[in-house]
């Protein structure tokens, strides 16, 4: 009889072990699948967003690039998109953890209502702390992204203008400018880390306080015989399960605020409309002869110069060039020679007058 009982228990234990192995394999395959699909989707969104931004940038007028530093554009098309991709990758994981929280909470209610309420007693304080962290992080993240772009602008200008910098022996001046930008970026980055350091330990410690309360109250109940030790062990496991999403709150909030700041900067690009667009009834030139005419043209660049002014570059400028004729325009730097060439293909619209090719206004 004893042998039969042992055999029955062994058979039951073997079945339990088999089911644990099956569940472990299913868990491995499931996690592998959803992580692969999740990150693949996140990278696909990143790629599509990057292509859409570049497509929109190619449609913008020259005036946008006159007033926007190249480093700012590069930063938005790279690091800002990367921030959004990270949120896309880790955000859904938090949603899955929240589902686990709901399931664990439901099972805990079936075991003991009092212990369940004690387990989640600290969660409102976790939420309030996270909200306070969120309110402080957003402006810091926006500032950090902007100063990253500012630093990228300095580097880009020095690389592209290295011949000018060396010709005027301006290396030390540019190094000072770079150091100033780096210091500004360091301040905002340190301020962000300081904010996280003051909030994240609280967010992670509060669920552990709940575990201490569960062990204390559960131990008293077990001593009185109201619950079993197995119930306490089960609750300890559930506390770990429901606290995992809250321990990730700090990380996800940082990614969310960084992505929000990045998204705002990216939408600024998408919300910018081209200043120069084709007229609804625009016509194609046919049988071009090449006659060029500037008629009392007046023009001022939309962006201010280094002094903050917007001087008029061309004033009542007129010029006629016959087909096949070669004309040289000479003058000092800034007198408008390049501007004349830029107005001909309508990179900019004139403020007054007209630019014509074979008698057709380039705006038509």
Under a CB-based contact definition with an 8 Å cutoff, are residues 57 and 18 in contact?
Answer: no
Cβ neighbours of residue 52 under 8 Å, at least 6 residues apart? 270
Task: Please provide the size of the chain in residues.
Answer: 364
What would the mean pLDDT of 309-332 be, rounded to a whole number? Answer: 89
Confidence bin at 247 (pLDDT 50/70/90) = low
Three-state SS string over 194-220 comes to HHHHHHHHHHHHHHHHHHHHHHHHHHH
Q: Give the pLDDT band (50/70/90) at residue 306.
A: low
Q: What is the pLDDT of residue 296?
A: 93
Number of alpha carbons in the 13 Å side-chain half-sphere of residue 215: 11
Residues β-bridged to residue 83? none
Exposure string (b/e) for 121-132, b if CB count within 10 Å is 16 or more?
ebbeebeebbee
What φ, ψ does residue 356 adopt, rounded to 5°? -125, 145
- The residue written with tokens 């007209």 in the block is 354
Contact call for residues 297 and 346 (beta carbons, < 8 A): no
Q: Is the dihedral of CA 329, 335, 336, 338 positive or negative?
A: positive
pLDDT-derived band at 135 (thresholds 50, 70, 90) equals: confident
In this prediction, residue 317 carries a pLDDT of 92
Q: What does the alpha-carbon distance between residue 302 and residue 196 come to, in Å, rounded to a whole number?
A: 42
Q: What is the arithmetic mean of pLDDT over 317-335?
A: 90
CA distance 133 to 129: 6
Mean pLDDT score, 282-291:
84
- What is the chain's mean pLDDT, rounded? 82
How many other C-beta atoms are found inside a 10 Å radius of the C-beta of residue 74? 15
Res 44: pLDDT:
87
Cβ of 107: how many Cβ atoms within 10 Å?
Answer: 12
Provide the pLDDT for residue 298. Answer: 93
Q: How far is CA 325 from CA 180, 289, 317, 360, in A?
A: 52, 11, 19, 19
In tens, the pLDDT along 49-66 reads 888 888 888 888 888 887
Separation between Cα atoms, residue 191 and residue 240, nearest integer Å: 31
pLDDT of residue 112: 81
Whether the pLDDT of residue 307 is over 70: the answer is no
Residue with tokens 């004893």: 2
102-to-67, 98, 105, 222, 249 alpha-carbon distances in Å: 51, 6, 5, 26, 16
Q: Is a pLDDT exceeding 90 seen at residue 93?
A: no
Average pLDDT of span 255-275 = 82
Q: Is the pLDDT of residue 321 over 90?
A: yes
Decide if pLDDT at 182 tops 70: yes
Q: How confident is the model at residue 118 (pLDDT cuts 50, 70, 90)?
A: confident
Alpha-carbon separation of residue 15 from 5, 6, 8, 18, 26 (angstroms)? 15, 14, 11, 5, 17
Please report which confidence band the pLDDT of residue 7 belongs to, taking 50, 70 and 90 as the band edges. low
Query: What confidence score (pLDDT) does residue 359 get?
Result: 87
Question: What integer is the mean pLDDT of 103-130?
Answer: 81
pLDDT at 322: 93
Retrieve residue 299's tokens.
């023009």
Q: How far apart are CA 232 and CA 328, in angstroms?
A: 92
Does 9 have pLDDT greater than 70? no
On the question of pLDDT at 106 being above 70, the answer is yes
Q: What is the mean pLDDT of residues 58-85?
A: 80
- Strands 352-357 and 360-361 come out as antiparallel
Residue 72 has pLDDT above 90, yes or no: no
In the block, which residue shows the tokens 């072990």? 17
Residue 5's pLDDT is what? 59
Between 241 and 324, where is the model more confident? 324
Mean pLDDT of 130-141: 80
**pLDDT: is 303 or 259 the higher one?**
259
Q: Tokens 């439901």 — which residue?
A: 106
Q: What is the pLDDT of residues 197-210, one digit of tens each?
A: 888 888 778 878 88
CA dist 167 to 153, 164, 172, 187, 333, Å? 20, 5, 13, 33, 17
For the cut 70, the answer to whether the pLDDT of residue 3 exceeds it is: no
Q: How far, CA to CA in Å, does 113 sit from each of 108, 116, 214, 218, 245?
A: 7, 5, 12, 12, 21
């Amino acid at each position: 009889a004893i042998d039969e009982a042992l055999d029955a228990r062994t058979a039951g234990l073997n079945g339990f072990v088999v089911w644990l192995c099956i569940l472990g394999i299913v868990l491995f395959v499931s996690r592998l699948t959803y992580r692969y699909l999740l990150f693949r989707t996140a990278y696909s969104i990143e790629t599509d967003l990057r292509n859409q931004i570049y497509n929109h940038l190619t449609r913008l007028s020259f005036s946008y690039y006159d007033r926007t530093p190249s480093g700012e554009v590069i930063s938005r098309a790279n690091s800002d998109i990367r921030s959004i991709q990270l949120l896309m990758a880790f955000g859904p994981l938090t949603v899955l953890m929240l589902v686990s929280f709901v399931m664990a909470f439901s099972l805990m209610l079936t075991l003991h209502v009092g212990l369940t309420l004690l387990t989640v007693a600290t969660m409102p304080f976790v939420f309030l702390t996270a909200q306070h962290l969120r309110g402080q992080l957003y402006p810091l993240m926006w500032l950090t992204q902007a100063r990253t772009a500012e630093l990228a602008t300095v580097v880009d200008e020095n690389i592209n203008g290295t011949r000018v910098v060396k010709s005027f022996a301006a290396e030390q001046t540019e190094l000072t400018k770079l150091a100033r930008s780096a210091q500004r970026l360091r301040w905002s980055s340190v301020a962000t880390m300081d904010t996280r350091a003051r909030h994240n330990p609280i967010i992670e410690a509060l669920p552990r306080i709940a575990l201490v309360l569960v062990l204390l109250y559960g131990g008293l109940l077990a001593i009185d015989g109201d619950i079993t030790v197995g119930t306490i062990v089960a609750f300890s496991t559930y506390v770990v399960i429901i606290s995992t999403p809250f321990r990730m709150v700090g990380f996800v909030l940082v990614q969310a605020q960084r992505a929000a700041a990045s998204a705002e900067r990216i939408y600024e690009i998408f919300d910018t409309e081209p200043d120069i667009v084709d007229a609804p009834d625009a016509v194609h030139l046919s049988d071009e002869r090449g006659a060029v005419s500037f008629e009392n043209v007046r023009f001022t660049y939309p962006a201010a110069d280094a002094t903050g002014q917007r001087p008029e570059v061309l004033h009542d400028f007129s010029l006629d060039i016959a087909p096949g004729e070669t004309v040289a325009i000479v003058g000092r730097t800034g007198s408008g020679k390049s501007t004349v060439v830029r107005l001909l293909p309508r990179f900019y619209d004139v403020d007054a007058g007209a630019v014509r090719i074979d008698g057709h206004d380039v705006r038509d």
